[in-house]
Amino acid sequence: MDFQIVPWLSVVIVSVFVYLLFKKLRMDKTGPPLPPGPPPLPLLGNLLQMGGGKATEVLVALSQQYGPLITLRFGLKTIMVVFSPAMAKEVLKTHDHNLAGRWVLQAAKTLDQHKSSIGWAD
């Protein structure tokens, strides 16, 4: 019986260590303050909150709770969602240089397609 407990105990200890390591790495990142949003889960972000119904209805409910500009995390990607036309105009007018680029998939970088394909162009 002791033989069966030891492997599970080691898995639990390693899992807790990895969780604390990821949490520490996320806390060390300094950057500009983000708009309010629902608290994300580790590694999943807000993906589970989006599965409760239609995405538009879930986003409207979140905008009523957090305001016209919210921050969501989908996995490891941070996303800001704008709900009002006035806020969208302000964001696109003053922060357009931050929104001009795209993130490129690692597969496209590996095959060097990001240099010659119009789909990955800035």
Domain range summary for the chain, segments of one domain joined by +? 1-30, 33-83, 84-122
Question: pLDDT at position 95, please?
Answer: 79
CA–CA gap between residue 74 and residue 43 (Å, rounded): 9
Model pLDDT, residue 52: 72
How big is the CA angle at 35 (ends 119 and 60), to the nearest 5 degrees?
80
Calculate what percentage of the chain has a pLDDT beyond 90. 12
Mean predicted confidence (pLDDT) in 34-52: 84
- The pTM assigned to this predicted structure is 0.59
Q: Which residue from 84, 89, 85, 55 is spatially nearest to 72, judged by alpha carbons? A: 55
pLDDT band (50, 70, 90) for residue 66: very high
- Strands, E assignment, 1-120: 69-74, 77-82
- Top-confidence residue, 100 or 12: 12
pLDDT value at 4 more than 70: no
Quick one: pLDDT band at residue 42, thresholds 50, 70, 90? confident
Q: How far apart are CA 10 and CA 12, in angstroms?
A: 5
Distances (CA, A) of 87 to 36, 58, 71: 14, 19, 14
